[in-house]
Amino acid sequence: MSDSQTAPAPLLTAQDFKSDIKPIWCPGCGDYSVLTALAKACAELARPRARIALISGIGCSSRLPAYTNVYGFHGVHGRALALATGVKLARPDLTVIAAGGDGDGLSIGGNHFLHACRRNVDMTYILMDNQVYGMTKGQASPTTAPDWCEGKLTPTGTGIAPVAPLQLALAAGVGFFARGFAGNPNELARLIVAGITHPGFAVIHVLSPCVTFRAEQRGWKQAVHGFDGAPATDPATAMARFAGDDGFTTGILYASATPPFMPERQMTMTAADFDRGFIV
């Protein structure tokens, strides 16, 4: 294996982290800005492209890896965090980023979200939330408000309370949680850099409007407001501080010092040594 870290590191621009493939996203989709912010963050961190692995599941936002120039895996629906966990545990030297939407991460992949939070493997999860299933043409997602009636499967609304990603993550023991807005890619890039730099599992919850099925999300521009205070370092404080949050507070909302999960490995034996244990 050639090792790009041993080669002189060329200075890469954000553009170098983007591929030549044209996204399938609709014009005006928030995910374009997420791609831009991610590329910017990677350039800022000056990590070699070959040392970054970007893992996704299924959905509009999960198409992200193809539009970058790093190693990527576009897997099955809901399992991005599990696959990314395998990458990072097998190769701690890599910078591992998982990405996907609210349906992928909080519905079909909800269990993995919980366990990724509590396992605290050193990787970053970009959760692009548009409160709708776009790829299947506009059904309610786990973050959709109960009275949204435009989903054809739920014409009178879902009638059930949406998932609150921040509270869910805190309850599951997340180590880092930031919220960004696709309409502010510079802030988002800073949050992604902070997440990647954070030692442990970092959730970057991105409000990423779907202008096709949720045209009213164009109004998020006016709704978002920044949190500039020092992030809470214990879950109880964070939980209390954001108990009445409207979901539009952006910034680093929580950052704990919980050490990341990375089991020690030893090389004290070879496979052949284990024969001895079975010999009569």
Q: Which is nearer to another protein, 161 or 269 (CB)?
A: 269
Q: Min. distance of Cβ 263 from another protein in angstroms?
A: 6
Contact call for residue 1 and another protein (CB under 8 A): yes
Contact call for residue 117 and another protein (CB under 8 A): no
Contact call for residue 2 and another protein (CB under 8 A): yes
Contact call for residue 90 and another protein (CB under 8 A): yes
Nearest-CA neighbor of 223 among 250, 205, 203, 204?
Answer: 250
CA torsion 166→54→182→151, rounded to 10°? -70
One residue of 76, 164, 172, 211 binding another protein per CB under 8 A: 76
Strands 176-181 and 202-207, bridge-based pairing: parallel
Q: Which is nearer to another protein, 168 or 178 (CB)?
A: 168
Contact call for residue 7 and another protein (CB under 8 A): yes
Contact call for residue 8 and another protein (CB under 8 A): no
Contact call for residue 111 and another protein (CB under 8 A): yes
Instruction: Determine the Cα angle at 195 with ends 91 and 166, to 5°.
Output: 115
Contact call for residue 43 and another protein (CB under 8 A): no
Q: Which is nearer to another protein, 236 or 269 (CB)?
A: 269
Burial of 14: CB neighbours in 10 Å, binned 0-12, 13-18, 19+: middle
Q: Which is nearer to another protein, 120 or 217 (CB)?
A: 120
Q: What is the DSSP letter of 18?
A: B
One residue of 82, 99, 166, 224 binding another protein per CB under 8 A: 82
How many Å apart are CA 139 and CA 217, to the nearest integer?
15
**Residue-wise DSSP of 30-62:** THHHHHHHHHHHHHHHT--GGGEEEEE-SSSGG
How many Å apart are CA 241 and CA 110, to the nearest integer?
24
Positions touching another protein (CB under 8 A) are 1-4, 7, 21, 48-53, 55, 65-66, 69-76, 78-79, 82-91, 93-94, 111-112, 114-115, 263-272, 274-275, 278-280
